Structure 1
């Protein structure tokens, strides 16, 4: 009985992760940008996205995901303008928003957060409003 319960739970976990969408960032700007990812547990990583096509993608899962974008490596400085894409996956729904902190690093250059499903609202202005969509959606944040 324990084996069949474990097997059923494993199959359900695999099915739900197979349905989970992706989070991607594409840098179309003429300069490198830095992506700092912070998780709910406050762990973080940083990587450079090359100018004119740098790309990052990962499975979107869990709550408290923060994708912070800057034009320099000093993400945690109060003098560094940041674009922050927040995303949380809960009960089959992803809640997402775009915000600026300490200024707008892409002022006048344009940013666009889109999904691959027609019923998922795109974000074209950084206003902090929260949107919601199925967690099977693939999201792409395009810079410039």
Structure 2
């Protein structure tokens, strides 16, 4: 089991007050857990700058399923990257609009390229890549 290390931080009082307000809004029990999450987030962000690092994420797309051949084009992109797509969730938002969420895994470079292809497909109204980590290197 890892050893817990305590350390002090010098900080402007007004910045600390704003931080305390933020951690209350987010429901943290204490500053330590909030700081740990900020550290983990920075480490995950750094991981994504290393293009050959194994990563995971989700690609979220919103599109009108009546757009000619769009669903087929998205499916083609997904099949051409079948090794990187773990799962896809498809939701009918209304009579026209669909939401698709693809869970993806691969190198940061590969996942970013796949996300760009899907989001850049003509007819996609909105798309976003949400990046995260496999968790194996985080404590």
TM-score class normalised by the smaller sequence: under 0.3
Q: Which has the higher contact order (CA 8 A, sep 6+)?
A: 2
Q: TM-score, normalised by structure 2?
A: 0.27
Name the one with the larger strand percent.
1
Name the one with the larger helix percent.
2
